[in-house]
Amino acid sequence: MYRAKHDETDQRVDFFFVVEKWSGEVENTEPHKCDDLRWFSINKLPENMMHHVRYALECYQKGIDYSELPFNELFLNPNTKK
C-alpha cells in the first residue's frame, strides 16, 4: 500500500503478508508504540485499529493486491501529538 504524506515523516509504503502457518508467541517489540497484541478473526476486528491497516484488510478480502491511500485528516495516527 502506498500512503500519501500523512505526517511529518512524509510518504509511506506498507507491506502486508498472508501467513498460512504460525507457531510460537507474538511479541510486542515496540511497547512505546503499541500496548497490546492479540489475534482476532478477520470478521471480528477491534474498533481501535489504525485506519490504513483496516483498509488493507478490506482490500485483501476483495482480492486487491495493491492500493493507494490519499491524505485524509481521518487517517492520522490518533496517538501522535500535534
The string of DSSP letters for 4-71 reads ---STT--EE------S---S----S-TTT-S------TTS--SS--HHHHHHHHHHHTT----EE--
Nearest in space to 54 (alpha carbons), one of 8, 6, 5, 1 = 1
Q: 69: alpha, beta or left, given left = phi > 0 and alpha = psi -120 to 50?
A: beta
**pLDDT digits over 39-62, tens only?**
888 889 988 888 888 889 999 999
pLDDT at 72 over 80: no
Domain boundaries, the chain: 1-18+34-76
The pLDDT mean for the chain works out to: 83
